[in-house]
Every structure is written in structure tokens, then in C-alpha cells.
Amino acid sequence: MTTTTAVRPTPPRPAPSGKRPTGSRAKAWATRAPLLPALVFLIVVTQLPFVATLVISFFDWNSLKPDQRHFTGFANYGSVFTDPALRDSVLTTVLLTATVVIVSVVLGLAFALLLDRTFFGRGFVRTLLITPFLIVPVSAALLWKHALYNPEYGLFNGALTWFGNLFGIDSMVQPEWTSEMPLMAVAAALVWQWTPFMMLILLAGLQSRPAEMMEAARLDGAGAWQMFRFLTLPHLRRYLELGVLLGSVYIVQNFDAVFTITAGGLGTANLPYTVYETFYRAHEYGLASAVGVVVVIGTVIIATFALRVVSSLFREEASRA
Amino acid sequence: MRHHPRRRHGPRRLPRAAAVATALALLATGCAGAGGTSFGGGDALNVLMVNNPQMVELQKLTKEHFTKETGITVHFTVLPENDVRDKISQDYSNQAGQYDIATISNFELPFFAENGWLRPLDQYVEADPDFDQQDILPPLRASLTHKDGKLYAQPFYGESSFLMYRKDVFEKEGLTMPAKPTWKEVAELAAKTDGSQRGMKGICLRGLPGWGEVIAPLTTVVNTMGGTWFTEDWQPQLTAPEFKKATKFYVDLVRKHGQLGAPQSGYAECLNNMTQGKTAMWYDATAGAGSLEAKGSPVKGRIGYVPAPVERTDSSGWLYTWAWGMQNASKKADDAWKFISWASSKEYEELVGATSGWSNVPAGKRASTYAHPDYRKEAGAFADVTQQAISEADPNNPGTQPRPTAGIQFVGVPEFTDLGTKVAQEISAAIAGRQSVDTALATSQKLAEKVAEEYR
């Protein structure tokens, strides 16, 4: 995926030969010059492939029929918006992303509030809570598919059986999690991975609350709920926005969970999975590129908001310092 | 990616402009650039292959044996199946000659040959009596021969499908497995063995979406019940009564007496269920038997093997092979043939048998393998049934009516990977009980119609 770079370098003016450029401009370039190779490198490795994708998206190109490759203009984009399967995958993506983001923000907030208190072993608990976020996504998906959801040897049904045995029920209900609620199954695995991320952001927000303000509120006789409602939540607004936006950008692109847990079946194919299928199964390079471009445009819109929020955060921090 | 041959002869210092130009050229051709190939001197062969265990073994043995004997260096690029298909079609379609040899399956052979991407091998076979072409099992020879009558690839290993069942469970229940079961009998046996041990189901059948997953066994059921994907003149038949009957049968059987979590289980999951004693029967690839009878398998020696169940045809096992196809533009055809004839030879099978055991031999392609005493000692339980299954497979006439393309568990057109996978998702949803078989097939029929239009 491409990122929008907020850096807009002014085009270099060739200095008149034999004379050192004067004053501030020279100084500005002296600071910029060491960054230039990195910027050029960044443009080459992120923007050029995207341009290539853009070009390919205007071709009807099936890799198994190379002789029939031809320019089709916007036909691929037409297919993206009219093909029912692709439309479904747009809906699935929105639904999956929204569910995962909202649930993990709520859970993350709950965990962050709990971790904000001081208690014995807090560092250890925090480490434990962060762990799911550090697991490789595809391993996490495999773990959920086999170790937890599997109806025959999975932990969920095993726990149900054990629970049933406690009450003397011999044949406890054994739901087939992934078949009965496929999208929820994928979402649950993602929520488990992304809750720690939200928790970390919100915890940082909680710990930046001005202590004297909270103290003053308590002296004025505010209850816990009132303090949360009128002080904590407004203060956390920016952090919540940041969590939601960053989370959305990442989860829109999620491929591992869908690929591993359901193989895109049972209506769980999201956009990245559809791109993969179009490219590798259908060998439709043009169409796959068009879907990719549409996803990029969607993500860029979200990312723009995210960048704005981040920059406003920085401004606030700066004004407070 | 596990196999990255180190770059040994890479360009040391390219001028920057050239480097940028190369990068741009790579982008323009949409080249993934994965695989880290190293292109050796003028006499080195470049082989692109799928990362299955038998190929990885071959890679190890090539240097010590083939290169030592012939002096020909071989550079391998090893990729997962999806990526390898893609890279092969890219390279072969451009006829750039970057790779001399690639592993292609009997699925893509017809359109690769049709496009003129492969070099016919008949003259090499004739000039090389030691290779013993007549020893290759006839259905494989047939499926690697294009309709122009020329042979375009040599098999490395082949597989069919058959029914595996727990002999001990059948004995305990007082049941007998017929020597040539019908699907009706299998359904009855599945009902009787269901629950014969705690947590044991009657049968395991794939339900995972994918043209190479649920579609393969399902299509063999469709064939033997008189159905077909397309008529000879490209009329899609997915809503025809025979196709419907077969699909309903498959879906009902797996819903009633099949494994739990069927919509997410493919070959690997069923193999797991069979090994762990969670199912009494399993209809799948002959390759599964090798794993069930491997050292340390808890069900080793307890499995019986019978041919794929039938209804209206004499046999219904599928046919699949990974084979060596030579790129038409290859400039080292003679050396390439030397490699192909070595990798697919009897000697190579002996070599693998001696170095890592006969169970790891790339079998299923030569009649002589099944007569070999060492192989029979290792794989006696399933050797004959496997050979019979492969020998009886007829890709040109797998059902009860003529077909537009050759192929048993697939339709031999490039679009089938996509069509098969999309249909598989509908079937998988029917297995999960989220929609009826009729709805699934009505949706699938529309998809098949789109593909058929291009060929009518």
C-alpha cells in the first residue's frame, strides 16, 4: 500500500556555477540534502510500483492469454463497481473493519482504564495483554482456526464439554463456530489481535491527563462516572480518533485472517482477499490492479484524516509544553 | 519462502542508469522478482518448480548425482503452487527462455501446448530407449499428450483418488467394504460407522473452498452420477438434474455423517481427522495413503483401500500429475532433456529409495515402480489400488457424455481456477447450511455461463 507523504520538497534551483548560493536558502538545502537520497528511495519503492499498478489497471490483461492484452480504458473500474461479488466484498470489508475497530476500541478502553490503576504486578499484566498484538498475523489466524474454533479438538468446544460435565450434561452443545458465524469468527480473531493496540494508545492518553485537574474535580465532589464522562472522555477524544483511524487503515488491509480461517468462503471475502483471488486464481492482472487502486483511494481518504488527527495531537502537545 | 538459492553470479556493479532501467523494466512487465534466481553460465539449466517435498528432495540429489555425472549445473527456483503457476505462465508466455524447464500439471498442459509455449518431446523419447516411455502409465501419457498428438511433458509423479477406510472399525461393527463400492453403499456405511467410537464420524469429505479442494472430489461424484460441467458444445450443466443430484448427495452426506467443521476442511484437515481416528472413511487423493502408513502414524496398518466409489461409470478416480515441461524457446534443449529424463527415470526412483526410503519415492507414474520388491514392501497396502486407480482414469472420457476439454476433476480451460473457486465458495456455503444446494448451483450456473460464452 502507498502512503501519502506530507513532505513537499521545493524543486531545487541550480545554483549559478562557481558562486556559493547565499544565506537562508543554502542553509535550508544544507539541512535537506542529507534527506534527499532517502526521499528519492522512498518515491522509487512506494510510488513507482503504484504508478505501474495504475497503468496496468487500464488494460484487459489475462496472464494466460498474453496475446490478447489490450487497452480498455475504464472498463475494469466499471467491473469493480458493477460485479456483485466485488460489491459484496466492499460491504464485507466495511462491516468487518467497523466491527473489529469498534469492539477493540471499547475493549481497549476497558483494559486501559483497569491498567491505569496501580496494583501489584501491573507491568507483568500489561505485557501479557500486549502479547496478542506481537504475534504474526498468519500464526494468530492458524491458532484461532485450529486450536480454538475446531469443532473436534478446539479449545472452545473442549471448554464447553468440560463445563457440561460439571453439571452432568453428557452431550454438551458443540457449535461449529466458523461455519455458523464465519464473519464473526474472523472478526473475533482480529479483535483479539487489535485490542492491545487500542489499549496502548488509550493508556498513553489516560496517563497524560493532568493530575491536578482530576484532583480538583475530586475535591469538588465529582463521582467516578462524572469524572469519566466530563473529564476523561473529552481528553481521550483525540486518542480515540487516532486509534479508530489507524486501526481502520490496518484492518481494511487484513488478508491473513480471511485467507486462513475461512479461505474467503461463506461470505467473508474482503477486498484484499478479492484482489488476491483476481490476481492469482483468475489471472486478471488488469482487474486486480483496478480493485487495488480503488482500495488505495479508499485508504488514502481514511489516512488523510488520520494524518490530520496526528498532526493536531502534535500541535496540542507542543502548545502544552 | 524457504528456498533462496544464493545469488552467485549477480551483476557486481551496474551503472546506476542501467539499474534504474532494469527496475523500471521489471515494474513494467509486472515481474514479481521473487524467488532469487541465479543465472549461471551458458551451460547451466534453470528449473522453476513447485515447493512440494518430492521436488525439494530432487533439488538436494541433483547436485550430488546429476551434475556429477553429466557436468550440467542446474539452478532451481522453488515457489508455492499459486506463485509458481503465475511465474511459469509469465515466463513461458513471453518465451523469454529465462527458464528451460518448469513443473506444469496436466491441468494447464492443454492451453500451454495450444499457445505453443512447450517443446514437443517425442523426438527425444524416440532417441532415448533407456528412458522406457512405454513404462509410463498410459493415462499419464495420454493426459500429457496434446490433441495434436504430440507429447509435451514427462511426469515426475502422479496421483488418483480412492476410498480409505478403517478395517478395524468395520470389523468391530461387522461391516464389509465391497471390493468396488458404489456411492449409495458408501453412504449407508457412513451412517453405520458414524459414532462407532467416541467422536468418530462416518466419512471425511473436503468442503474447503478452492478449485483444488472441494471441487476435485465433488466433480468425480458428478462425473459418475452422470453429470458434467459443460456439454461438448459448451452448454453449462450445473443446474441439470444429474449435477444437482450429485451435489445434493455430496452435501447431504457430509452434513449428516461427515466431519465437523466441514466447510473449512480440505485435504490437510481430513488427513488429520483420519490419522487421529476421527473418521471411519476418507475419500481423497492416493497421496494421502503414504502419510497414513508412515512411521509413527497411529493408524498405520489399520487402513483398507478400495477404488473410488462409482454409480454410473466403471471408475471415477481423478488424475493429477506434476510433470516437466520444456520451454519452447529454451536454447539448451538437449541438456534439458537430459535432466528431465534423469528426474523421471527408474534410476532416480531407485536413488530416492536408497537414500531416503521407498515411501518418499515420486511414485504413481511408472508401471515398474509397482513391481519393485522394495517399493511393495514399503507401500504394499495401497500400491496395487493406487496403480489401478491411475490406470483406470480416463481424462478424455471421465463421465457419461463427451466433454469439450480433457480432464476428470477439472475443466481444462484457464478460467477454471477462478470459476472452480467461486463455485466452491457457493458449495461450501451449502455445506455450512447457509443456503440450499439449488441456490448455490443457480448462482454457479450463471458464472459458468460467462466462461462458456467465450468458447462457443
Helix (H) or strand (E) holding A141: helix A137-142
pLDDT for residue B66: 94
Instruction: From B114, B212, B144, select the one nearest A65 (Cα to Cα).
Output: B114
What is the DSSP annotation of B294-329?
Answer: STT-TTTT-EEEEEPPBSSSS-----EEEEEEEBTT
Of A149, A266, A282, the CB nearest to B432: A266
B32 touches chain A (CB under 8 A): no
Q: Is any Cβ of chain A less than 8 angstroms from the Cβ of B17?
A: no
Chain center to CA of B5: 26
* Touching A: B residues 323-352, CB under 8 Å: none
Taking the C-alpha atoms of residue A248 and residue B237, their distance in angstroms, rounded to an integer, is: 43
Cell numbers 440450499: residue: B436
How far, rounded to the nearest angstrom, does the alpha carbon of residue A131 sit from its chain's CA centroid?
17
Confidence of residue A294 (pLDDT cuts 50, 70, 90): confident
Residue B417, min C-alpha distance to chain A (Å): 5
Query: What is the pLDDT at residue B6?
Result: 41
Interacting residues of A15 by C-beta distance below 8 A, sequence separation 6+:
A21
Contacts of A277 in chain B (CB under 8 A): 418, 421
DSSP category for residue B163: E
Question: From the list A150, A151, A264, which residue is nearest B209 (CB)?
Answer: A264
CA distance A261 to A178: 8
Rounded Cα distance, B228 and B237, in Å: 6
Angle, alpha carbons B1-B3-B8 (nearest 5°):
125
Strand order in the sheet with B303-307: B201-204, B279-285, B161-166, B303-307
How many CA atoms, within 13 angstroms, populate the side-chain half-sphere of residue A235? 19
Cβ-Cβ contacts under 8 Å for A313 (sequence gap 6 or more): A238, A239, A242
Gap between the Cα atoms of A63 and B90, Å rounded: 7
CA angle B356, B357, B359 (to 5 degrees): 125
Distance CA A235, CA A313 (A): 11
Residues of chain A with Cβ-Cβ distance to B446 below 8 Å are none
3-state helix, strand, coil in chain B (%, to 5): 45, 15, 40
The count of other CB atoms within 10 Å of the CB of residue A26 is 11
User: Residue A301: exposed, middle, or buried by beta-carbon count in 10 A (0-12, 13-18, 19+)?
Assistant: exposed
Between positions 412 and 441 of B, the ones with CB within 8 A of A are 414-415, 417-418, 421-422, 424-425, 428-429, 431-434
Instruction: Say yes or no to pLDDT of A14 above 60.
Output: no
The answer to whether the CB atoms of A178 and B94 lie below 8 A apart is no
β-pairing, B74-79 vs A70-71, is unpaired
Contacts of B115 in chain A (CB under 8 A): 67
Amino acid at A115: L
Q: Where are the alpha helices (DSSP H) in B357-415?
A: 373-392
By C-alpha distance, which of A39, A55, A32, A33 is closest to A3? A39
Q: pLDDT class for A248, splitting at 50, 70, 90?
A: confident
Return the bridge partners of B306, or none: B163
State the DSSP code for A10. P
Q: Count the Cβ atoms, other than its own, within 10 Å of residue B1.
A: 11
The verdict on a CB contact (< 8 Å) between A152 and B89 is no
This prediction has a pTM of: 0.81
Show residues of chain B in contact with A180, CB under 8 Å: 432
What's the confidence (pLDDT) of residue B42?
Answer: 59
The predicted structure's pLDDT at residue B323: 96
Closest CA to B177 of B154, B193, B196, B161: B193
Which pLDDT value is given to residue B10?
A: 38
Cell 452431550 locates to: A171
The pLDDT value recorded for residue B159 is 93
d(CA A97, CA A248): 6
B304 class by beta-carbon count within 10 Å (0-12 exposed, 13-18 middle, 19+ buried): middle
List Cβ neighbours of B225 (8 Å cut-off, separation of 6 or more): B183, B242, B245, B246, B249, B311, B312
pLDDT of residue A246: 87
Instruction: Spell out which residues of chain A touch residue B278, defining contact as CB-CB under 8 Å.
Output: 152
The residue with cell 515447493 is: B51
Whether residues A48 and B27 touch (CB distance < 8 A) is answered with yes
In the block, cell 453403499 appears at B185
Residues 6+ apart with CB under 8 A from B125: B131, B133, B151
Decide: helix, strand or coil at residue B20: helix
Q: Are residues B263 and A265, on separate chains, in Cβ contact within 8 Å?
A: yes
Residue B195 sits at the chain A interface (C-beta within 8 Å): no
Q: Which residues of A touch B24 (CB under 8 A)?
A: 48
Query: What does the pLDDT read at residue A320?
Result: 60
- pLDDT score for B140: 94
Q: Please, which residues have CB within 8 angstroms of residue B386's CB and are 6 or more apart in sequence?
A: B159, B160, B162, B286, B289, B305, B363, B364, B370, B379
Extract the C-alpha cell encoding B224: 459418475
Compute the distance between CA of residue A291 and CA of residue A288 in angstroms, rounded to an integer.
5
Q: How does residue A319 score in pLDDT terms, banded at 50, 70 and 90? A: low
B208–A263: do the CB atoms touch at under 8 Å? yes
In three-state secondary structure terms, A206 is helix
Q: A261 near A141, Cβ under 8 Å? A: yes
| pLDDT digits (tens), chain B, 456 positions | 444 444 344 334 444 444 444 344 444 444 433 333 444 445 799 999 998 888 989 999 999 999 999 999 999 999 888 778 878 887 888 888 889 999 999 998 988 998 899 999 999 999 999 999 999 999 999 999 998 999 999 999 999 999 999 999 999 999 999 999 999 999 999 999 999 888 899 999 999 998 889 999 999 999 999 999 999 999 999 999 999 999 999 999 999 999 998 998 888 889 989 999 999 999 999 988 988 988 888 999 999 999 999 999 999 999 999 999 999 999 999 999 999 999 999 999 999 999 988 888 899 999 999 999 999 988 888 999 999 999 999 998 999 999 998 899 999 888 898 899 999 999 999 999 999 999 999 999 999 999 999 888
**Mean pLDDT value across chain A:** 84
Q: Which residue has the cell 458444445?
A: B233
- The set of residues, in sequence order, having a beta carbon less than 8 Å from that of B113 and lying 6+ positions away, is B146, B148, B150, B152
What is the distance in angstroms between the Cα of A223 and the nearest Cα belonging to chain B?
A: 49
B418/A283 CB distance under 8 A = yes
Report the distance separating Cα B47 and Cα B67, nearest Å.
14
Chain A residue with Cα closest to B24? A48
Taking CB atoms and an 8 Å cut-off, how many pairs form between chains A and B?
106
The span from the CA of B46 to the CA of B62, in Å, is 13
Answer yes or no: is pLDDT of A117 > 90. no
The confidence score (pLDDT) of residue B400 equals 92
Please enumerate residues of A whose Cβ is less than 8 A from a Cβ of B: 44, 48-49, 52, 56, 62-67, 85, 145, 149-153, 174, 176, 178-180, 182, 261-267, 269, 277-285
Q: List the one residue out of B57, B53, B49, B105 whose CA is nearest residue B75.
A: B49
Helix, strand, or coil here: B206? coil
Check CB contact under 8 Å for A64 and B89. yes
A282 contacts in chain B (CB < 8 Å): 415, 417-418
Contact A256/A141 with Cβ under 8 angstroms?
yes
Residue B226 identity: G
Question: Roughly how many angstroms between the first and final C-alpha of chain B, as a whole number?
Answer: 41
C-alpha cell at A291: 480493485
Q: What is the pLDDT of residue B7?
A: 39
Closest by CA position to B159, among listed B262, B308, B47: B308
Length of chain A: 321
Written as one letter, the residue type at A126 is: R
B418/A178 touch (CB, cutoff 8 Å), yes or no: no
Contact call for A63 and B90, based on CB within 8 A: yes
- Classified as helix, coil or strand, B182 is strand
pLDDT band at A197 (very low <50, low <70, confident <90, very high): very high
State the burial class of residue A255 (Cβ atoms within 10 Å of its Cβ: 0-12, 13-18, 19+).
middle
Cell of A289: 490492479
Residues of B in contact with A66 (CB under 8 A): 93-94
DSSP state of B79: E
Residue B334: Cβ-neighbour burial (10 angstroms; 0-12, 13-18, 19+): exposed
3-state secondary structure of B366: strand
Cell triple for A171? 452431550
